[in-house]
Amino acid sequence: MAFQPIYDAVAGRAWGYEALVRGLSGEGAFEVLSKVSPEQKYRFDQDCRVKAIELASRLFPAGEDLMLSINFMPNAVYEPAACLRATLLAAGRYGFPTSSIMFEFTENEEVTDTAHLTNIITEYRKRGFTTAIDDFGAGHAGLGLLADFQPDLIKIDMRLVRGIDTSPARQAVVAGIVGISKELGITVLAEGIESEAEFLALKAKGIRLFQGYWFGRPAFEELPQVRYASV
C-alpha cells in the first residue's frame, strides 16, 4: 500500500491519507487490479482493507486526528455486514478507531444494483464509517447516482479539476456540484491538484479538502511529506 495525503485548507494540515494499492515493483492500482480475477475480487478487497488498517496503525502519529481512506469494490461486496467482519476485527486488533476510516467507491465501476449499493452505504454508516464517492463527475451515473443516495463525501474527478483556473466551463460545473453538495449536506474534496492555480480556483469555490501531487505524491508504506499552502 502507498499513502497519499488529503489536505485540509481551513485547518492548514493533513486531514487524512488515502491507502492506494501498489505492486511490489511500484505497479499502479490499475495494473494490479487487472490481474485480479472475478473469483479473487472479494478476498483481494478484504486483504487490502486489513493491510491498510495495519499500516496506518503503525504510521499515523499518535494523538493526531487523521482519517484513513480505503477504496472498495461494490461489486465484490456480497453482504455488507458479513464483508465488514474482517475490517472490524482488524480495527480492534490494531486499536484503530472505526470513526477514522472512510470507505470510498469509484464511480468508474459500473453499479448495476443501486439498491445493493444503498444497503452497503447504510450498513457502513451504521458501523461508524464515513462513506465517499470517488471520481465523481466522470463515471457511469453522475448526478443520478447522487440522487439515489447521499454519501458523506464526494471526490471531484481530476478531469474536472485539470486546468480549472483557466476554464470557465469547469468552474461552472464545479460550482454546481459544490452547491448541490451543500444542499445535501455532503462534504466536497477536489482530487488531482497539480498546481497552486488549480488549488486557489477550487478553494475560491468553497472547497476545503484537497488531494493531488501538488500536496504530496503517494509514498510506499510510509507517510509522505505534505505541502502546506500559505493561503
User: Which pLDDT score, from 0 to 100, does residue 204 have?
Assistant: 96
Residue 179 included in any domain: yes
**What does the pLDDT look like over 165-204, one tens digit per residue?**
999 999 999 999 999 999 999 999 999 999 999 999 999 9
What are the tens digits of pLDDT across the range 122-148?
A: 888 888 899 998 888 766 557 877 888
Domain count, the chain: 1
Q: Indicate whether 231 belongs to any domain.
A: no
Q: In this structure, is residue 27 part of a structural domain?
A: yes
Q: pLDDT tens for residues 42-87?
A: 888 889 999 999 999 999 998 889 999 998 876 666 677 777 888 9
- CATH number (domain holding residue 128): 3.20.20.450
Q: What's the 3-state SS for the chain?
A: CEEEEEEECCCCEEEEEEEECCCCCCCCHHHHHCCCCHHHHHHHHHHHHHHHHHHHHHHCCCCCCCEEEEECCHHHCCCHHHHCHHHHHHHHHHCCCHHHEEEEEECCCCCCCHHHHHHHHHHHHHCCCEEEEEEECCCCCCHHHHHHCCCCEEEECHHHHCCHHHCHHHHHHHHHHHHHHHHHCCEEEEECCCCHHHHHHHHCCCCCEEECCCCCCCEECCCCCCCCCCC
Assess if residue 230 is contained within a domain.
Answer: no
The reply to whether 70 falls in a domain is: yes
- The predicted structure's pLDDT at residue 139: 60
Provide the residue range defining the domain that includes 166: 2-220
Does residue 226 form part of some domain? Answer: no
Residue 228 falls inside a structural domain: no
Looking at the domain assignment, is residue 118 inside a domain?
yes
- pLDDT confidence of residue 199: 97
